[in-house]
Amino acid sequence: MSKKWIVVPVVLSLSFLSAFTALGKENKVMRLDAESGSEIILKKVEYRETGDGEGQVTIEGRATADGIIEAYQIQIDTENGTYITKPLDYKPSEEELMEEESEEELSNDEVGSSENQLLAAKSYYKGWLRASTEDPVRIETAASKISMSWSEDIDGLLECSSSTFNTWAANPSEFDTHWYKNGQSFPKYKYNSDNSKITQTAWAAYYNYDFGNDDLRTDVKHNMTMIPVNKDIGSGQFDYKVTMDKSGESSALLELNVTTN
């Protein structure tokens, strides 16, 4: 099966109109609807205006662990309260590939039940969720990736065999800017009450001091959730949620990419 390599920049409009719903004194939020012609209709796209005028975007969708990589450009129109998704070609940077090869991933591995899994499980799946930040000249500066392997038995019960979390920062990027990791969290996955869903969360933060003025700092944080679901919802499918927080110098120019497999 041929693979599609497609990416996800999120382009934010700088206009903030009355369509926002107030959330306290310092936050406003807008729920966006898909425009006609969108390549992918997401479960939810939300834009939040923070107190200092900077923005936060949250994307929720569903993907299939079928070996086909999908990613989408999301253009956001805050004037009309809409978004449109368009596929783009994607190729991982050499820096990211080198970093992933050399860096030990954080992992959550199920121990001692592999033989029972082989006997009881009906189907096996491996999927991943990747969030990255891109600068104005289309160069990725930081990336965070959750990978999960799980099985589903004939009764629809799920069991996770492993999950990993990989983070990467461009140091230097192709244009000689330097991004650094600033903390991350990867707690063990959790099952719901009837083992029909598995929830894996993670976050990673990054910063930069030479995006423009060397005396000013830029910060980015990826908050991610990946939820494999059973055949009652869709075998081999998973729900996902990605939020990118950004602040500091020229942070409005940074875009969010989301890629799934």
Q: Which pLDDT tens digit goes with each residue over 7-61?
A: 545 444 433 333 444 444 456 889 999 998 888 899 999 998 876 657 788 999 9
Distance CA 47, CA 81 (A): 9
d(CA 236, CA 260): 13
Burial class (CB in 10 A: 0-12, 13-18, 19+), 38: middle
pLDDT at 79 over 90: no
Question: Once rounded to an integer, what is the mean pLDDT over residues 147-168?
Answer: 96
Helices of type H across 51-154: 94-102, 114-120
* % of the chain residues with pLDDT over 70: 78
Q: Which residues make beta-bridge pairs with 64?
A: 237
Provide φ and ψ at 100, rounded to 5°: -65, -30
Q: Where are the alpha helices (DSSP H) in the chain?
A: 94-102, 114-120
Return the minimum-mean-pLDDT range out of 120-134, 172-186, 224-238.
Answer: 120-134
Residue type, 113: S
Angle CA 68–71–77, to nearest 5: 155
Q: How far is CA 25 from CA 22, 29, 56, 261, in A?
A: 7, 12, 16, 39
Helix and strand element counts for the chain (H, E) = 2, 17
What value does the mean pLDDT take over residues 185-198? 97
Within 10 A of 159 (CB to CB), how many other CB atoms are there? 19
d(CA 165, CA 210) in angstroms, rounded, equals: 27
Residue 31: Cβ within 10 Å count: 13
With the C-alpha atoms ordered 193, 63, 69, 201, is the resulting torsion angle positive or negative? negative
pLDDT at 85: 82
Tokens of 90: 């994607």
Tell me what the pLDDT averaged over the chain comes to: 83
H-helix segments, 14-89: none
Going by C-alpha positions, the residue among 3, 4, 259 that lies closest to residue 132 is: 259
- Characterise 195 by phi-psi region: left (phi > 0), alpha (psi -120 to 50), beta (else): left
Confidence class of residue 72 from pLDDT cuts 50, 70 and 90?
Answer: confident
Phi, psi of 245 (to 5 degrees): -95, 140
